[in-house]
Amino acid sequence: MIIDYADFTRASNLIHPIQGAALLLLGAAEAYALDNGGRRFTLTAAAALAISGALMFAAILALPGRWSPAQLALALSVRRGFYIFISFACVYSAAGLSLLTKEAVGRRGGGWLATFLGLLAFAGVLYFVLAWRVNEEARRRVLVWHAAIGSTLLLAVAARAADVLRPRRPLRLAWAALLLLTGFQLALYRETPSAFAPRLITVESSTGRAGR
């Protein structure tokens, strides 16, 4: 089996826009519901969020994995940091399903809303962790971008949680706006090739004395 390290970069460049599109749709749905009410748009956004996780996993299986579980296992064994994108896939799908359930049960869905917000917060934390899953030479750039992404997502969750405790229109507006901002950042992000490129290590050995 041959591992093409560029496939990791290509997969990342697919996964980030997928995440961005899901959050942009969710932010637009929340902004629309603020003035128009109704749940149809929110249900669509929740379904898209759940589907985005499946699309992320498909991108990983298609590129580093070449549609082969054995190839994927080999690729992940040499690039263990890429497991974080599988975590993102699971978290986004779980968040979408939680929001779908919350919308389905209506006012009785407080627990599902808390689960949804908790999963989004966890995703926000994962963005900070991502910088330590790439090569050191790309870490600073990845950290700057993903710290901004993680921060805006965590602020969005904080605004929504505050709105649950004390409903206020500005809080719902901030929730929607911060989701849109996070989505735009993800949609614009492009991975640097050095993030997942193979690393060359030079080993210098001291010259030993000849034996007798």
Please give the mean pLDDT across all residues of the chain: 90
Average pLDDT over residues 2-20: 94
Q: State pLDDT tens for residues 118-175.
A: 999 999 999 999 999 998 899 999 999 999 999 999 999 999 999 999 989 999 999 9
Q: Give the residue extent of every domain in the chain.
A: 6-195
- In this structure, are residues 13 and 190 in contact, taking their beta carbons and an 8 Å threshold? yes
Task: Please give the torsion angle defined by the CA atoms of residues 3, 4, 8 and 14, in that order, rounded to the nearest 10 degrees.
Answer: -120
The secondary element (H helix, E strand) that includes residue 187 is helix 169-188
Task: Please give the torsion angle defined by the CA atoms of residues 126, 145, 147 and 97, in that order, rounded to the nearest 10 degrees.
Answer: -40
Task: Using the predicted structure, report yes or no on whether residue 211 has a pLDDT greater than 60.
Answer: no
What the block records as the tokens of 101 is 């359930």
DSSP state letters, 6-66: HHHHHHHHHHHHHHHHHHHHHHHHHHHHHHH--SHHHHHHHHHHHHHHHHHHHHHHHTTST
Task: Using the predicted structure, report yes or no on whether residue 28 has a pLDDT greater than 60.
Answer: yes
pTM of the model as a whole: 0.90
Average pLDDT over residues 42-54: 95
Q: How confident is the model at residue 199 (pLDDT cuts 50, 70, 90)?
A: low
